[in-house]
Amino acid sequence: MNELKGIGASNGISKGKAYILKDNMPEIKEKKIKDAKKEIKKFEDALEISSKQISLLKEGAIEKLGQEKAMVFDAHLGILLDPEMDSQVKSKIESEKVNASFAVMTVAETFKQMFLSMEDDYMKERAADVSDVTTRIIKNIEGIEIKDLTLIDEEVIIIAHDLTPSETSQLNAKFVKGFVTEIGGRTSHSAIMARSLEIPAVVGTGSDIFNIKENSNLLIDGSTGEILINPSEKLITKFNKKAIELEEKKKIEATFKDKESISKDGWKTKVAANIGSPADIDAVLKNGSDGVGLFRTEFLYMDAENWPTEDEQFEAYKKVLESVDHKIVIRTLDIGGDKKLNYYKFPYEMNPFLGYRAIRLQLDKLDIFDTQIRALLRASVYGKLAVNIPMIATIDEFKAVKERFAKIAKELKSEKIKIGEYELGIMVEVPSVVEMADKFAKHADFFSVGTNDLIQYTFAADRMSEYVSYLYQPFNPAILRKLKTIIDASHKEGKWTAICGEMAGDPLLAPVLVGMGLDEFSMSATSILEIRRLISEINKEEAQKLVDKVLDVETDTEVKALIQKFLDDNKITI
């Protein structure tokens, strides 16, 4: 065996020695104990140690990956501190006189099975988080070493069944040149983390990867999913050439940092960044972003122990507005669905993605909404502010939001508090907004399309579900027609449209979005220079002809073929 194939999950070519990440978890057996108090103390001590470890992992993840990617550790701390789990473990130790590790393992298994039996796919995913956290607790009870991947000090490619959030957050891109996992797909947690770290990754290879011997020389291509084991000099030379070409492309893209986002024939647009907190501003500036197209304020709430105060929010918004001399689009609280708060219990719903979330919660809890509006309006004097309202479904909802902003603005003025100019826009995620885009455009200052949710709501397919993942089709003409409708409606009213979902950062979609006249692309900061370079190589007039073609076909496969032909004909590489 000298070659394997998986799913390319994070672009790039790298080589290194195979580092086999094996699970050192021992078999936990039931042992009868005499001193329940002593065993409960072991459990409590392990909880305390685990809490400190997870908090440190979260800090490291924020620094390396940004606020959004680090949010998984809030969920882990929530599991760790869950009073129901705590109570069940202690009760089992006391009533059945069993060892702490066995009690944790059996209670955890009950929780995992409970999550796995739920119809909601978000809740099913919590089983993996329970496993990650309780494995840590058991290892701390047993005094078993938890492998510290930060100690890797040579160039390696990690081979693993999968990488947990705890493990991925420890990777140092200086030494970990890539990883290969037995399971997973492009949207798995480890794949998303790899792209943030800018290291190549291949996932979903199957169990054959464990036939690879420790310290074997590996070469992986994160775009094609190829894995070469002890490759020949001829293959190494071939892949080295490809790696050099990729590096040259990166160098060229680096020259676009301080350039305008402008097409080959002079049409101007903006390429902005998505952020989760003021801590992400460094990456925005480093990549020469045309502002912030999406500031996800929910992370201010998720990192807090209680609802953040007006002043706490004001300081965060002010810092971002002062740091970037471009427009900053701040989205109001988008909580619910897959994002929870430790200090607020959401009502049980069969499908929380279609339920009590985002603006629906804020219009119901006006004290929370008013606090955020006050903080936003106070901060508006420090920069170019645009406020984006998530999950709007009807014009009446948006009118209610506008009335609330007007009311708070009047109150602030009566308190002699200055407010600056600001724009108030709509997050387009719900298909009803697309159908009424011409009417919404008369009321909103701008549209910002959340393509991730728009796709799942259009196809009635939960993007968290592996069973219907084939319906996550950003290239489907149904989605592209919706985007054209939204952009055209905004332009007719002299307004502008942005995309802040994954589609904005997809290089293959750039020609179509240029052809549609998208006013702002907003994405992960690390994708900005590549998209700006691509825009500079596209002739907008020619791209408009491409749009006419892709809107007239029937499948996403046909769309991709038309785009690839356009790129080939115009000698544009991605």
Report residue 498: phi and psi, to 5°.
Answer: -120, 160
C-alpha closest to that of 293 among 527, 121, 65, 512: 527
Count of CB atoms within 10 A of residue 141's CB?
A: 24
**Which residue among 76, 443, 491, 500 is the active-site one?**
500
C-alpha closest to that of 179 among 397, 189, 364: 189
**Which residue among 76, 161, 189, 443 is the active-site one?**
189
Does residue 76 have an active-site annotation?
Answer: no
CA angle 112, 115, 119 (to 5 degrees): 150
Q: Which residue has the tokens 């406020």?
A: 387
Beta-bridge partners for 358 = none
Quote the CA–CA distance of 15 and 344 in Å, as a whole number. 47
Quote the CA–CA distance of 189 and 528 in Å, as a whole number. 22
Does residue 189 have an active-site annotation?
Answer: yes
Q: E-strand spans in 368-460? A: 384-389, 422-428, 446-449
Secondary structure, 3-state, 185-213: CCCCHHHHHHHHHCCCEEECCCHHHHHCC
Taken as a whole, the chain contains a residue count of: 574
DSSP conformation letters of 238-286 = HHHHHHHHHHHHHHHHHTTTTS--B-TTS-B-EEEEEESSGGGHHHHHH
Count of CB atoms within 10 A of residue 511's CB?
A: 29
CA angle 378, 379, 382 (to 5 degrees): 125
How would you classify residue 82: left for phi > 0, otherwise alpha for psi between -120 and 50, otherwise beta?
A: beta
**What are the catalytic residues?**
189, 500
